[in-house]
Amino acid sequence: MRDQPVLEVLAERAADEIPPLPGYAADLVRGVHAHQERIDELIAEHAQGWALERMPAVDRNLLRIGAYELLWADDIPDAVAISEAVQLARDLSTEGSPAFVNGLLARLLELKPTLTL
């Protein structure tokens, strides 16, 4: 799906309906897309020793989803957002990814009260 506008891909996928697209998945895509510039700034600022572009794509996108849930999705408990991102990193990415994702999202949670969103 590279190089295709994410909201167009979402609309096409939703139109297919087989299998049905979970509503929360669509909400995540829209939410991350709406806040991606700020999310990427925060990730880049707090990912010590890692440029956003050099991160594994899975980690980068898990961090985007986790950051969105932490900072804008009030209906998701912070601990759940972090735990799910870490579990997905464990299942889908490198050996060091769970600790990296956990550390960075924990830092954003710590800074949450002071962040300008």
- The tokens describing 12, both together, are 């096409």
Mean pLDDT of the chain: 93
Domain at 36-114, CATH from 3.40.640.10, 1.10.940.10, 1.10.10.1100, 3.40.50.920: 1.10.940.10
pTM for this predicted structure: 0.90
Three-state DSSP state, 11:
helix
Asked whether residue 11 carries a pLDDT value surpassing 90, the answer given is: no
Q: Which residues are CB-neighbours of 103 under 8 A, at least 6 positions away?
A: none
C-beta neighbour count of 111 within 10 angstroms: 14
Q: How far is CA 83 from CA 17, 87, 90, in A?
A: 29, 6, 10
Tens digit of each residue's pLDDT (9 = 90 or more) over 52-86: 999 999 999 999 999 999 999 999 999 999 999 99
Query: Where do the structural domains in the chain lie, given as residue ranges?
Result: 36-114
